[in-house]
Amino acid sequence: MLSIKNLHANIEGKEILKGINLEVKEGEVHAIMGPNGSGKSTLASVLAGRDMFTVTEGKVTYMGHNLFELSPEERASEGIFLGFQYPIEIPGVSMVNFMKTALNEQRKHKGLEPLSSSDFLKHMREKKELVELDTNLTNRSVNEGFSGGEKKRNEIFQMAMLEPKLAILDETDSGLDIDALRIVANGVNKLKSPHNASIVITHYQRLLDYIIPDYVHVLYDGKIIRSGGKELAFELEEKGYDWLKKGITV
Amino acid sequence: MSTEIVNTDIKIKLLDLFQENLSVIKNDSPDYINKIREKAIELFSKLGFPDKKNENYKYTDVKKEFDNGYKTYLSPKNIKFEIKDIFSCDVPDLNTKVILLLNGWFYDRENLLQELPGGAIIGSLQKAMEVYPELVERHFAKYADMEKEGLVALNTAFVKDGIFLYVPKGVVIEKPIQVINVLMDEEEGFTSHRNLYILEENSQASVVVCDHTLSAVNFLTNSVAEFFVGQNAHFDYSRIQNEHNGSKQISHLFFHQEKDSKVTNNTISLHGGVIRNNISVLLNGEGCENNTYGLYLTDKGQHIDNYIFIDHAKPNCISNQLFKGVLDDFATGAFNGKILVRKDAQKTQAYQANNNILLTDDADIKTRPQLEIYADDVKCSHGATVGQLDENAMFYMRARGIPKKEAKLLLMYAFAHEVIQKIKVPALKDRINDLVEKRLRGELSRCNSCQMHCCNT
Ligand SMILES: Nc1ncnc2c1ncn2[C@@H]1O[C@H](COP(=O)(O)OP(=O)(O)OP(=O)(O)O)[C@@H](O)[C@H]1O
Ligand SMILES: [Mg+2]
């Protein structure tokens, strides 16, 4: 589904990603862990198409497309969803209008008719229940004045609404209370199917109790320095990252 | 009446025009008006046009706009058209009383003054000068300060017609009144309509003014409106400026508010080549509230300049100014908001905000708040921003599948929404919502008769 080969990216001349290799197949869950500033969010942003980062080397194919030939909106419509580490507030744009526009634009891209208002509202009601999102939140402007946890839950709600093929969740678990964590994980698991995949960026092994990863990768200084099964997460939780850094020349 | 384009100063030309046509100009006007006229032409001769050295006109060269050999309208011209043909679907749910001015003249010459329920009167100012001399004399040229402003003196010197509204004590006009200013002619024209709105104590009214050009030639307007808003009267005044981009419009609004009165004024500027709006408010009694709002959406070579002056002359008044603008292409603009809090105006609350979005590097806006505060117990704030569309918000929307163009539109619309929300009449709010969305999408026709076009599609 997604194949990243030797990906290098920089911002304002500063190299952040220094040769990432990663293969994600349908049905898989990949966890990416790694210390602060190692490049996890940068990787997620590059995959979603943020143009502040410049790709200098490497190749990314997604569902047979050269990813870099697609605009962010095309990537989204082709099924890539980025759950933002820091969701953006958009005063004056209502959640309903935002989601309706997003959903219908994605449908348009696929050659489908826009959803009728009643179908849209029904769809929204279902997904709101799935992630136990407070009804009031959808009546407000996008993320405006949402608490940290509400913003994260709203990311999962959007994911549920848009039903992506590849979900990249950047620290969606940070700032969530235990109940919210369970709900978020539940949301992710409900979307899981043999045809889609997720990349879950997290600092905490805790999330991986709920979302069981097939692979765990450690990103350090712009490179994946270790990959393993879910037991790698436990090892990291226990020992930190230092033992992995040894032997790496920085 | 046409003026030759000779190489004399436009001020001299206008003074000559006045003298040459004195009898036409004075004819039909009562003496008390002609006396004011004489004083006005003297003042204009003294003051002339504000030039760029004038701080208040730093960013708009108005004199240049006059020097175009415009034909003037010293008497009404007969152009026949059915108002329904043009505006039938324009304001579909707005249950309004519709009044038309054609090139500055009251259009319905058979019905120059109409009585509304409760004894209110709407109609032609020229006719009102004759029929209600005491009323007009008590208010006319009392609030529009021509000592300070040559353009106001000019308008007063040539005063002929415009809107007259009188709402007697305690009368509430439920239906909004819609005034449509139509400019239409085969030749370039200069109009200078004059409007007088008198709201006596405890009265209420709301007025919507739409400015339109219905022919493609260039127009210049230098209009003045005076508003007397009596004790505890409530008045809503919204304007939609939607002339074509070959038109130049200078307007001067003077609000005189008495104790406990409330005025809300919205100026929505969509199209128009050069727009200069002067809005001057005198809070002349305690407990007044004034809301002066504006939204300008400009592109190409449009120029918009809003000059606001709020005079807190008495204690315990509150004023709010909110002006927002989106400038695209190489559009330019200025916002100048002055708040004066006089020595006795304790417990004043005065707020001002001007926010701008520039969509290109070539678009430009100068924004300048001016606070002059002589009282010590006041709450005042002002804030001005000039920025771009929020890149993070753009990316967030695109990452959800919303194309760039649509995302941009949503953001601009969200930005404009704050001002639209302040419009009180619900049907008008919906209508303006629509117009703004169309304008932002670039679907509002830029040619001479936008409304006809949206009706037909
Ligand atoms: N806009 C930017 N300008 C300059 N440097 C940036 C920018 N964005 C990211 N960086 C730098 O890139 C590096 C990687 O940042 P990134 O956000 O990808 O880290 P991360 O692994 O997600 O960290 P965290 O765990 O704290 O979220 C950091 O050194 C960061 O300072
Ligand atoms: Mg991060």
Judged by CB atoms closer than 8 Å, whether chains meet at B401 and A102 is answered as yes
Distance A202 CA to ligand 2 centre (A): 9
Given a cut of 70, the residues of chain B with pLDDT beneath it are 1-7, 77-96, 445-457
Judged by CB atoms closer than 8 Å, whether chains meet at A92 and B396 is answered as no
A97 touches chain B (CB under 8 A): yes
Question: Which among A92, A97, A106 has the least Cβ separation from residue B418?
Answer: A92
For B233, list phi and psi in degrees, rounded to 5.
-85, 150
Q: If residue A183 lies in a helix (H) or strand (E), which one and from where to where?
A: helix A178-191
Sheet containing A223-228: order of strands: A80-83, A166-170, A197-201, A29-33, A215-220, A223-228
The CA distance from B265 to B244, in Å, is 23
pLDDT at B456: 27
pLDDT at A247: 57
The CA distance from B112 to B116, in Å, is 13
Nearest residue (by CA) to ligand 1, atom 5, is A11
pLDDT at B68: 76
Provide the mean pLDDT of chain A. 91
Domain span including residue B196 = 2-441
CB contact at 8 A, B235 and B258: no
Q: A2-247 is classed in which CATH architecture?
A: 3-Layer(aba) Sandwich (3.40)
Q: Is residue B249 classed as helix, strand or coil in its secondary structure?
A: strand
CA distances from B100 to B66, B105, B208 (A): 25, 8, 12
Q: Please say if the pLDDT value at position A231 is more than 90.
A: no
CB contact at 8 A, B277 and B306: yes
What ipTM does this complex have? 0.95
Assigned domain for B454 exists: no
Question: Which among A48, A82, A88 has the least Cβ separation from residue B392?
Answer: A88
**What pLDDT, in 10s, does the model give residues B321-333?**
999 999 999 999 9
Q: Which ligand is nearest to the CA of A43?
A: 1
Assigned domain for B66 exists: yes
Record the pTM. Answer: 0.87
pLDDT at B5: 45
Judged by CB atoms closer than 8 Å, whether chains meet at B399 and A48 is answered as yes
User: Which residues lie closer than 8 Å to B152 by C-beta, 6 or more apart?
Assistant: B144, B145, B146, B224, B252
Q: Find residues 22-61 of chain A whose CB sits inside 8 Å of chain B.
A: 48-50
Contacts of A91 in chain B (CB under 8 A): 414
Which of B400, B402, B404, B408 best probes binding to A when mutated, by most A CB atoms within 10 angstroms? B400
Which residue, among A85, A26, A73, has the nearest Cα to A49 in the 3D structure? Answer: A73
Judged by CB atoms closer than 8 Å, whether chains meet at A90 and B399 is answered as no
Band of pLDDT at residue A3, cut at 50, 70 and 90 = very high
Measure the CA angle with vertex B107, ends B3 and B138; round to 5°.
85
Q: Name residue, tokens 């869950």.
A: A29
Q: Which tokens go with B345?
A: 């105006």
pLDDT at B86: 57
CA distances from B235 to A249, B199, B200, B209 (A): 75, 8, 11, 13
Which of A50, A86, A90 best probes binding to B when mutated, by most B CB atoms within 10 angstroms? A90
- Other C-beta atoms lying within 10 Å of the C-beta of residue A24: 20
- b/e sequence B445-457, b meaning 16+ C-beta within 10 Å: beebbbbbebeee
Assigned domain for B321 exists: yes
Which of A41, A42, A88, A140 best probes binding to B when mutated, by most B CB atoms within 10 angstroms? A88
Atom of ligand 1 nearest to the CA of A52: 1
Provide the residue type at B325 as one letter.
Answer: G
Q: Name residue, tokens 């500033």.
A: A37
Residue A79, CB half-sphere, CA atoms under 13 Å: how many? 16
Q: Which tokens go with B166?
A: 């009188």
Nearest residue (by CA) to ligand 1, atom 25, is A36
Query: In DSSP terms, which residues pair with A17 in a beta bridge?
Result: A9
Contacts of A162 in chain B (CB under 8 A): 400-401
B14 exposure class (CB count in 10 Å sphere: 0-12, 13-18, 19+): buried
Closest Cα of chain A to B430: distance in Å?
16
The CA distance from B228 to B71, in Å, is 32
- What share of chain A in percent tops pLDDT 70? 98
The CA distance from A184 to A200, in Å, is 12
pLDDT at B2: 46
Closest Cα of chain A to B39: distance in Å?
50
Rounded to whole angstroms, the maximal C-alpha distance in chain B is 70
Q: Which ligand is nearest to the CA of A50?
A: 1
Residue B358, CB half-sphere, CA atoms under 13 Å: how many? 16
Nearest residue (by CA) to ligand 1, atom 3, is A11
pLDDT at B225: 98
Residue B111, CB half-sphere, CA atoms under 13 Å: how many? 11
Pinpoint the alpha helices (H) of A139-177: 148-162
Nearest residue (by CA) to ligand 1, atom 30, is A37
Contacts of A98 in chain B (CB under 8 A): 397, 400, 402, 410
Measure the CA angle with vertex B157, ends B151 and B163; round to 5°.
85
Q: If residue A227 lies in a helix (H) or strand (E), which one and from where to where?
A: strand A223-228
Q: Name residue, tokens 């074509």.
A: B244
B222 exposure class (CB count in 10 Å sphere: 0-12, 13-18, 19+): buried
Residues in the ligand 1 pocket, defined by CB under 6 Å: A 11, 16, 34, 36-42, 52, 85
- Considering its fold, how many domains does chain B have in total? 1
Residues from B contacting A (CB-CB < 8 Å) are 390, 392-393, 395-404, 406-407, 410-411, 413-415, 417-418
Residue of higher predicted confidence among B371 and A247: B371
Assigned domain for B212 exists: yes
Q: Which ligand is nearest to the CA of A32?
A: 1
Q: Which tokens go with B135?
A: 């009323």
Pocket test for ligand 1, best of A38, A50, A82, A219 (most atoms within 8 A of CB): A38
pLDDT at B84: 55
Q: Please say if the pLDDT value at position A128 is more than 50.
A: yes
CB contact at 8 A, A229 and A216: yes
Contacts of A82 in chain B (CB under 8 A): 399
Residues counted in chain B: 457
User: Which residues lie closer than 8 Å to B69 by C-beta, 6 or more apart?
Assistant: B2, B3, B4, B5, B188
Q: Which ligand is nearest to the CA of A38?
A: 1
